[in-house]
């Protein structure tokens, strides 16, 4: 007797696909409709996406509070409408900062900080997602939220670009972190690359590419 396929599927999401695109690809590859994802990645972002298959979908809430690690790149001197490379360029400023100033500002963002969620986030406002309002040109007031940056390390500094690693709590927006660091430096910044490498105890090294999804990729899910 065979049992319905159920468990966790770790996928390395490529750039250009939405999280729902990945779910659709998994449904086709596995021949099962009951699949959901735990933690959205924007189309321009890459890296670890957790899919829950079959009866494991009912455990999606267990993933909402997990910490995450990212590798990212920010570009100083430019401000965009979305805080990333896909937004409209709003302003350009000269980048007149030293390496020492950059490192000092990075240190200031380690620990508990406040972030105002970006308008392109999935947070709801009166029943509507903020990104839905943003597409219509509507901007609403957002209350700041407290998040925690556990680690924030510069891995390459080649101004105006800065590559960095960040380990953070749930609810942290890396694009907003880039914008806030840019403002603290006085030149503005936007997120040009985002790659998620960890969610809780799950790591990108255990993920499969979308084209390699098969039944053997789905493993049992045990959560306490």
What's the pLDDT score for residue 139?
59
3-state SS, one letter per residue, for 146-172 = EEEEEEEEEEEEECCEEEEEEEECCCC
Topology given in CATH for the domain delimited by 68-199: Pseudouridine synthase (3.30.2350)
Q: And the tokens for 30? A: 């596995």
pLDDT tens digits for 68-82? 999 999 999 999 988
Q: Are 47 and 53 in contact (CB under 8 A)?
A: no
Distances in Å between the alpha carbon of 13 and those of 19, 198, 204?
A: 8, 13, 10
Q: What percent of the chain has pLDDT above 70? A: 86
For residue 125, how many other CB atoms are within 10 A of its CB?
Answer: 16
**Distance in Å from the first CA to the final CA of the chain:** 28
Q: Residue 24: which residues within 8 A CB-CB, separation 6 or more?
A: none
- CA 50 to the chain's CA centroid: 12
Global pTM? 0.90
Topology given in CATH for the domain delimited by 7-64+202-217: Alpha-Beta Plaits (3.30.70)
- Catalytic option among 24, 42, 180, 206: 42
E strand map for 2-143: 7-13, 35-38, 46-53, 68-76, 78-80, 89-92, 111-115, 124-125, 128-129
Residues of the chain where predicted confidence (pLDDT) is lower than 70:
1-3, 118-142, 222-224
pLDDT tens digits for 144-176? 899 999 999 999 999 999 999 999 999 999 999
Burial 195-219, CB ≥16 within 10 A → b, else e: bbbbbbebebeebeebeebeeebbe
Whole-number Å distance between alpha carbons of 117 and 170: 13
Whole-number Å distance between alpha carbons of 197 and 199: 7
In degrees rounded to 5, what are phi and psi of residue 166?
Answer: -140, 135
What's the pLDDT score for residue 125?
46
What's the pLDDT score for residue 128?
57
Task: Answer yes or no: 84 catalytic.
Answer: no
Whole-number Å distance between alpha carbons of 222 and 178: 35
What's the pLDDT score for residue 16?
95
What are the extents of the domains in the chain? 7-64+202-217, 68-199
| Strand 7-13, strand 208-209: pairing | parallel
């Amino acid at each position: 007797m065979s049992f319905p396929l159920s468990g966790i599927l770790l996928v390395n999401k490529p750039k250009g696909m939405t999280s729902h695109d990945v779910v659709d690809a998994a449904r086709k590859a596995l021949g099962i409709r009951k699949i959901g994802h735990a933690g959205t990645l924007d189309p321009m972002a890459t890296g670890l996406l957790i899919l829950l298959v079959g009866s494991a979908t009912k455990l999606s809430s267990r993933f909402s509070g997990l910490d995450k690690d990212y590798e990212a790149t920010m570009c100083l001197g430019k401000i965009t409408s979305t805080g990333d490379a896909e937004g409209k360029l709003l302003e350009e400023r000269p980048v007149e900062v030293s390496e020492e100033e950059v490192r000092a500002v990075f240190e200031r963002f380690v620990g508990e900080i406040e972030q105002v969620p970006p308008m392109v986030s999935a947070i709801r406002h009166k029943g509507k997602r903020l990104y839905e309002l943003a597409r219509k040109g509507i901007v609403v007031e957002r209350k700041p939220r407290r998040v925690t940056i556990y680690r924030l390390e510069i891995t390459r500094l080649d101004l105006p670009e800065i590559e960095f690693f960040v380990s953070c709590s749930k609810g942290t927006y890396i694009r907003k972190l880039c914008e806030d660091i840019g403002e603290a430096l006085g030149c503005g910044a936007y997120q040009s690359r985002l790659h998620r490498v960890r969610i809780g105890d799950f790591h990108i090294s255990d993920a499969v590419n979308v084209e390699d999804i098969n039944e053997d990729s789905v493993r049992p899910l045990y959560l306490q």
